Structure 1
């Protein structure tokens, strides 16, 4: 009786448990981006690379080799190979990347199957090389931009980074070149070299899509006139500045260090203004892959 009385006197909060995941507008945009990116990727592979008897890097390159050697459809081999590596190395992807990758793999294979016969024949092999690299870079760039991956060598590169302390970019390039080298069993040396050119074009296009049309630059300025340059940057460039304390090792003098992130288009003007207000300022320009936060527009 005492237990029942205590239970009646106790106030329990009512909590609703929802088993339905929230699908936001941004999620739908990301899914649409995966579809469009997969379509462009498939166009690059089928309409240009395979049409020109060229190869490719990564697991899609292995799929193309299998197609040339045994006529195994690229859509099928791409699906199987990428899901196998995803099962082995899923722990190397973040939660968001893994979910989107699970959608991306069958989507790219579906697009490869739909566009299987969409081949553009050209008497000039460079047309296939350039546009193949362009469409593949565009497709993968869109997929990576929303936080997904195409699995394959991306996972292998992250495994190499963890266990061998190898830079991810270099590891990707290494695996791609290995696939191209294996492709010499079904391609001529000229076709393999053209494939390397297509890989380079795809990488540049992919970087452009991921970084955006207006990449950023980080500027470090060591100056004797921090107040003058700080005011100039605020009024002329209209950017915020961070001031850090520094000290010269040889002179042992305290120095103010200005740090600022700007659009690449503003770099030339900033350099000119710095030279105008302080010719002795020491300026270092850094490449910036991405900028996060509410302080940069």
Structure 2
């Protein structure tokens, strides 16, 4: 790749990242000001702390969102990396501006359950986009990443501890019914984030052990358009040499793959595993037969 092509590609990637970080931050702003905050429903992390603080003190929510995140960004700059820190700072700034701009907009619903559900979905979409493009909206995530280097807990466990404390605090400030609605919103946002990061075509790795391995492999390649890799093993009880098939399919293709295997060998051993991410190879190829 020539220097000009490399520069053009870098600019394109930066603009794309900036667009989706902006979109994600604005979605989060909408979730907060249109659904959650007017109904006193909170999120976890710095966002949740900011909502509680803005309720207790006569300071705008947008100011808390920005100011409370800055110490974590400064603390994590050298630890986490320049790109991640700058992307996070940009996302937090856009979110803060979005909250300030949208503040005072008409509330869509006063039904707490509807606010928790649709606020959680909108929040999850926004946060998912930001995470997908190498950013964050929460300084506690940076703190958790750093803390994992010195304490025997994962990032997820540390964030969960923070959020249990924050969501529990909402019970004392807004009432326990609002705290429970906040848990609903948090859970829905969490699941929506997974959906954005993994996509609708969640991938599955399938291991097949069968005496009809060549026939099954040919059918998978012909009917699903997916590549198949041969592995070789030996049965633990029989000592017999075995051909093992390994392939990766989408969640939507899994049922058809099962049927292919059953049609060829009803006694085949099939193990299905979740795959977090797939890159390269022929995986992007679509099925070539209905």
Give distance in 2, aligned partners of 1:260 and 1:136.
35
> Which secondary structure state, in structure 1, belongs to the residue aligned with residue 178 of structure 2?
helix
* Matched positions, count: 279
- 5 Å-filtered alignment, 1:116-155, equals 116-120=103-107, 122-155=109-142
| TM-score, structure 2 as length reference | 0.89
Which residue pairs with 1:157 in the alignment? 144
Larger displacement relative to structure 2 (234-243 or 154-163) = 154-163
CA contact (8 A) 1:137 1:203 kept: yes
Deviation (angstroms), 1:233: 1.1
Segments of structure 1 that go 5 or more residues without pairing to the other structure are 1-15
Match of 2:263 among 254, 264, 276: 276
| TM-score, structure 1 as length reference | 0.87
Deviation (angstroms), 1:267: 0.6
Q: Quick one: structure 1 residues 262 and 21, their matched pair in 2 at CA, closer, same or farther if it must change by over 3 Å?
A: closer
Match of 2:164 among 177, 186, 206: 177
Which residue pairs with 2:177 in the alignment? 190
Q: Quick one: structure 1 residues 257 and 156, their matched pair in 2 at CA, closer, same or farther if it must change by over 3 Å?
A: farther
- 5 Å-filtered alignment, 1:229-244, equals 229-244=216-231
**Alpha carbon RMSD of aligned pairs, Å?**
2.1
Larger displacement relative to structure 2 (98-107 or 165-174) = 165-174
Segments of structure 2 that go 5 or more residues without pairing to the other structure are 285-290
Deviation (angstroms), 1:84: 0.7
Match of 2:87 among 96, 100, 124: 100
> Which secondary structure state, in structure 1, belongs to the residue aligned with residue 150 of structure 2?
helix
Which residue pairs with 1:13 in the alignment? none
Give distance in 2, aligned partners of 1:158 and 1:248.
43
CA contact (8 A) 1:133 1:200 kept: yes
Which residue pairs with 1:44 in the alignment? 31
CA contact (8 A) 1:83 1:105 kept: no
Deviation (angstroms), 1:109: 1.3
CA contact (8 A) 1:51 1:121 kept: no
| Max Rg structure | 1
Which residue pairs with 2:12 in the alignment? 25
Give distance in 2, aligned partners of 1:143 and 1:214.
20
Match of 1:80 among 63, 67, 72: 67
Deviation (angstroms), 1:273: 1.1
1:67-120 CA distance string (max 9 Å, x none):
111132221111122111122223443443233123212121111211222240
Deviation (angstroms), 1:275: 1.0
CA contact (8 A) 2:210 2:268 kept: yes
Give distance in 1, aligned partners of 2:58 and 2:192.
30
CA contact (8 A) 1:242 1:260 kept: yes
